[in-house]
Amino acid sequence: MSMATPHRQPEQAHKPLIAPIDLGGARIEAPVILAPMSGVTDLPFRRMARGLGAPMVVSEMIASAAMVRENRTTLKMAEIDGFGGPASVQLAGCDPQVMAEAARVAVDKGAAIVDINFGCPVKKVAVGQSAGSALMKDEVHAARILEATVKAVSVPVTLKMRMGWDHNSLNAPNLARIAEECGIRMVTVHGRTRQMFYTGVADWAFVAGVKAATKLPVIVNGDILGPEDAAEALRLSNADGVMIGRGAYGRPWLMRQVAEYLLTGVLPDEPSIAEQYATLMAHYGAMLEHHGRDPGLRLARKHVAWYSKGLPGSAEFRVKINHADTVEQAIDTIRAFYEPLVEAGVEATRERYSEAGRAARSGDDEALAA
120 in active site: yes
Q: Contacts for 176-182 with beta carbons within 8 Å, 24 or more apart?
A: 176/210, 176/213, 176/214, 176/216, 176/218, 177/213, 177/214, 178/139, 178/142, 178/143, 178/146, 179/146, 179/214, 179/216, 180/214, 180/215, 180/216, 181/143, 182/143, 182/146, 182/147, 182/150
Cα dihedral across residues 92, 55, 80, 294: positive or negative: positive
The rounded Cα 270 to chain-centroid distance in angstroms is 20
> From CA 320, how far away is CA 322, in angstroms rounded?
5
139-to-143, 162, 175 alpha-carbon distances in Å: 6, 13, 7
Active-site hit among 23, 56, 57, 120: 120
HSE-CB of 169 using CA atoms within 13 angstroms? 15
Cite the active site residues. 120
